[in-house]
Amino acid sequence: MKEDLDKFVVSLNKYITEPQNKHLQIEYRIKTVNDEIRWIRTRGMAIWDEEGNPIRVAGSITDITEQRLADEKIHRLAFFDSLTGLPNRALLMDRFSIAEANARRRGKSIAVFFLDLDNFKTINDTMGHTYGDKLLLKVGEQLRLKLRKSDTIARLGGDEFIMLQTNISSMDEVYKLAARMLNVFKRPWKLDEREFYVTASIGISIYPNDGTDLKELMKNADAAMYRAKEKGRNNFQIFTPELNMKIMERMEIENHLRKAADRKEFVLYYQPQIELATGSVRCVEALIRWSDPHMGWIMPEAFIHIAEETGLIGNIGEWVMSTACAQLRKWHDEGHDDLRISVNLSAKQFQQQDIFEKIMDIVEKTGIKPEWLELEITESLAMQDLEHTTSILSRIRDAGFGISLDDFGKGYSSLNYLKALPITNLKIDKTFIHGITSSVNQAKIVKALISLAHSMDLTVTAEGVESSAQLGFLLKERCDTAQGYLFSKPKPSKDINLSSYRTCVETCMEMTS
Ligand code: C2E
Ligand code: MG
Ligand code: MG
């Protein structure tokens, strides 16, 4: 409060000794008799006598405490994260520009740390958002303790924290801080009487080597953080130019992908699914291929996730479905009247509110029956929101479409999904099929899966069948359909063989009997 008093006296003196100052305005704090601190604004104007001497002051004294508090709140909202009280993006930018000017002048570096908690979503989902929020607050507090006063830690939202380590002269300092950060996660977190472990992945980029503005440095640190996740989480990675190459590649794919549909660069390949009891083609799976004039042939695994992240999957998915249905119509017209077609659906497509109407529309326009179309979905799709997925899938199934659970065994493979989802067919992932002949346990799992699915009135498709030995096992276990290079690789519509694969199946039967 002493400085407030000094300020007051200085202003008053100045006002009185310099009569050209017509008004007086001072804001200061006072301590009340109850020891409360209040902000006061005093405004005044001197009244002078004829000889030019000040004789009294007229004005007002106002308590502006509430206004000051509101101003502070606005300031906090503008520059701090409301959950953790840590700086937000705006303040981080500000701090970076000061650190950058310093580093430039003194020839030093700045490290930008991008930290993301591993499996935070699971904590939120299982323990609730309030619990998740408390954890973020604690993590923020602990991380802040590991930094020097001149460093900054900010939260950008979600479970992402950014740290600026300023004035560094060697990478050693960076490694040490990264290790200290990871150490924070070595102990269990105690919250509401519960104890549990959470780990984090960290990506680091260095100013000026990896970028000179914060946006670029954060983008590169983010790429390094993804690398840390890929490497099994709970570790840190430093950005490298090779990672940059990956980003550039991704950006190139993204740019081209935006134009690919208009330029008619997508094609569908088809792979038959063989009914093992008869050797005939029960269904063909439509698999997308992209031929870019500069990059050549691009397989779906290299671009579907980008299409999903950029929202392009909606249009691509509709194109796939219309083209596949039109092709089926053509095959039916050519005499393959029992043939069905299966189309892969992405999780993102499923989030469209009108997905059911879109599917119905395509089916009607191309003149095919719902019974002829099978939709392949993956567990990751179901996991997004089980209730929503189940209700839409039920509508789809009730309309007569088939629903296949694809890649079963690849991810979490919860039997829960098998029970909850209204599916009609189970596709066992190729990794399991490949393991049939090399691992006794995998063979046992496939055998059990087939019988489990049958007991639930589901048909079973084995994917990725490559050898007669695998086919022999599947025949013995009464798997319904099989798909794989043993019969045919995915091919353009004109090249695919839709007649019987009976000889292939029978030869295999003879070999294994
Ligand atoms: P998927 O639906 O599980 O498709 C089966 C994948 O296994 C295909 O890869 C196919 O070429 C491959 N495959 C088939 N038989 C064998 C075999 O005997 N051995 C081996 N090693 N592989 C075999 P592809 O065409 O590269 O597609 C990969 C994934 O991309 C698909 O997996 C599917 O999830 C996705 N995908 C493909 N087309 C589309 C599409 O139109 N829309 C969406 N959303 N996803 C698609
Ligand atoms: Mg599939
Ligand atoms: Mg599959």
* pLDDT tier at 137, thresholds 50, 70, 90: very high
pLDDT band, residue 383 (cuts 50/70/90): low
Q: How many CA atoms lie less than 13 Å away from 149 in the CB half-sphere?
A: 0
Please give the distance, rounded to the nearest whole angstrom, from the Cα atom of residue 406 to the centre of ligand 3: 5
CB atoms within 10 A of CB 493: 18
Answer whether residue 21 shows pLDDT above 60.
Answer: no
Band of pLDDT at residue 125, cut at 50, 70 and 90: confident
Over residues 256-268, the mean pLDDT reads: 92
List the structure tokens of 122. 């699971």
Q: Are 402 and 359 in contact (CB under 8 A)?
A: no
Q: Given this model, what pLDDT does residue 15 score? A: 73
% of the chain beyond a pLDDT of 90: 64
pLDDT of 19: 58
Task: List all residues whose CB is within 6 A of at least one atom of ligand 1.
Answer: 271, 287-288, 299-301, 304, 320, 344, 346, 376, 406-407, 430, 463-466, 483-485, 490
Give the DSSP per-residue string, 364-398.
Answer: HHHT--GGGEEEEEEHHHHHH-HHHHHHHHHHHHH
CA distance 148 to 146: 7
Q: How far away, in angstroms, is 206 Cα from ligand 3 center?
A: 41
Q: From ligand 2's centre to the CA of 246, what distance in Å?
A: 26
Question: Where do runs of H (alpha helix) occur along 436-467?
Answer: 440-455
Ligand 1 binding pocket mutation candidate from 305, 344, 362, 436 (most atoms within 8 A of CB): 344
In the chain, the N- to C-terminal Cα span, in Å, equals 97
pLDDT in tens, 191-227: 888 888 899 999 999 999 999 999 999 999 999 998 8
Q: How far is the CA of 351 from the centre of ligand 3 (A)?
A: 21
According to the model, what pLDDT value does residue 381 have?
64
d(CA 140, CA 83): 10
- The number of helices, as runs of H, and strands, as runs of E, in the chain is 19, 20
412 pLDDT band, cuts 50/70/90, is low
Question: Quick one: average pLDDT of 459-467?
Answer: 97
Give the residue-averaged pLDDT of 280-296: 94
Query: What is the architecture, at CATH level 2, of domain 250-512?
Result: Alpha-Beta Barrel (3.20)
Question: Could you tell me the distance, in angstroms and rounded to a whole number, from the CA of residue 469 to the centre of ligand 3?
Answer: 20
Q: Give percent above pLDDT 70 in the chain.
A: 97
pLDDT for the residue 75: 83
| Assigned superfamily of 2-70 | PAS domain (3.30.450.20)
Q: Which two tokens stand for residue 320?
A: 């796939």
Q: Which atom of ligand 1 is nearest to the CA of 490?
A: 11
3-class DSSP state of 228: helix
- How far is Cα 204 from Cα 198, in angstroms, rounded to an integer? 20
* Angle at 231 (CA atoms; ends 161, 235), nearest 5 degrees: 45
pLDDT (0 to 100) of residue 382: 64
Asked if pLDDT for residue 13 goes beyond 80, the answer is no
How many Å lie between the centroid of ligand 1 and the Cα of residue 387?
27
Which pLDDT does position 480 carry in this prediction?
98
**Environment class of 2 (CB within 10 Å of its CB; exposed 0-12, middle 13-18, buried 19+):** exposed
Domain spans of the chain? 2-70, 80-240, 250-512
What distances in angstroms separate CA 487 from CA 236, 339, 474, 508, one per listed residue? 45, 17, 14, 12
C-alpha distances (whole Å) from 324 to each of 280, 340, 400 are: 20, 10, 18
Matching CATH number, 80-240, of 3.30.70.270, 3.30.565.10, 3.30.70.1710, 3.40.50.150: 3.30.70.270
Q: Which atom of ligand 1 is nearest to the CA of 429?
A: 3
**Taking the model in full, what pTM does it have?**
0.67
pLDDT digits (tens, 9 = 90+) for 187-199: 999 888 888 889 9
With 90 as the cut, is the pLDDT of residue 322 above it?
yes
Higher pLDDT, residue 294 or 180:
180
Nearest-CA residue for ligand 1 atom 15 is 484
Pocket test of ligand 1: the residue of 287, 297, 306, 355 to mutate, having most ligand atoms within 8 Å of its CB, is 287
Report residue 413's pLDDT band, with 50, 70 and 90 as the boundaries: low
Q: What is the pLDDT of residue 334?
A: 95
Q: Is the pLDDT of residue 243 over 90?
A: no
Q: Give the Cα separation of 325 and 320 in Å (integer).
A: 8
The DSSP symbol for 423 reads -
Kindly state the average pLDDT of the residues 274-287: 96
Mutation probe of ligand 1 site: the residue of 265, 268, 346, 463 with most atoms within 8 A of C-beta? 463
